[in-house]
Amino acid sequence: MKKSLKKILFTVLTVFAVFFVVACGNKEDSKLNKEEILQKNVEATNNIKSVNKLVTAKIELKSGESVEYMADISLIKDPFATKIVMDAGPENGELTTFIKDGMMYVTGTGGNTWEQQAIPEETIEEYKNILNDSIEIYEVLKDNLDKVSIKEDGGNYIVSVSKNSDFLNEYIKNQMSDIVGGEDFEPNNSTLEYIIDKETYFLKSLLITFIAEVQGQKIKAKTETTFSNINNVEEIIIPEEALNSNN
């Protein structure tokens, strides 16, 4: 695999991780008000004060090679603090990032050395987008409800989009356009499925898949995200060695 291609694929996975994840007998209920359910999910998202978010992502190439990684995120909205542990496999290693009190602390695999720097408020606002999965999804779906299916499954709503819907392919293309730059990137067979808690309307999980071609190679991408401990993350503690670093 070309190094440049690996860099592109890793960046694609990173974007899905930071800024975006059926039981038998389910049946769609035509009486369900799709827009109302999605709007309540957005309202619930706006009331999230803290959360844990786990993302697993994989891109497979036709050649049999693959790029995988995991991001484990804890976040408190106000005052803002976050911990992000990103494992990109043996080749790229692990990266741990803390942000708190206007400072960012970063260390690589092994955690032997830390770097710290002040972080501007506008960057902190960008990190808060980690909470905006439901809001972004709603903006994509609201004008295409005819292609959206919602089923009840126990205490959850299962929301899915018709496979290979043009609007979903276009959305993914737009999200990736700045990353792949001049590379041709035409996603197809895109799918989106997510689970909403019927009682709280919080997002519980999100699954996005698509097929595309990058640098002449066909790729299959899959990103799964789960949300937990909503409004129950009490504190994010910066390690002493990070606080005491002089970098």
Q: What would the pLDDT profile of 22-37 be if each residue is shown by its tens digit?
A: 323 334 455 678 999 9
Residue 119 belongs to some domain of the structure: yes
Number of domains present in the structure of the chain: 1
Residue 94 belongs to some domain of the structure: yes
DSSP 40: H
CA 158, CA 245: separation in Å to the nearest integer? 46
Residue 3 belongs to some domain of the structure: no
Residue 17 belongs to some domain of the structure: no
Dihedral in degrees, nearest 10, Cα atoms 19, 21, 27, 28: 10
Q: What would the pLDDT profile of 157-175 be if each residue is shown by its tens digit?
A: 999 998 888 988 888 887 7
155: CB partners within 8 A, 6+ apart: 197, 198, 199
143-156 average pLDDT score: 92
Closest CA to 151 of 31, 17, 5, 12: 31
CA 239, CA 50: separation in Å to the nearest integer? 20
Provide the residue range defining the domain that includes 195. 34-244
pLDDT at residue 8, rounded to an integer: 52
Place 20 in a pLDDT band, splitting at 50, 70 and 90. very low
Residue 55 belongs to some domain of the structure: yes
CA 3, CA 6: separation in Å to the nearest integer? 5
Query: Any idea what the CATH number is for the domain that residue 48 is in?
Result: 2.50.20.20
Residue 46 belongs to some domain of the structure: yes
pTM: 0.81
Q: Say which residue, 199 or 19, is predicted with more confidence.
A: 199
Residue 22 belongs to some domain of the structure: no
204-227 average pLDDT score: 88
Residue 19 belongs to some domain of the structure: no
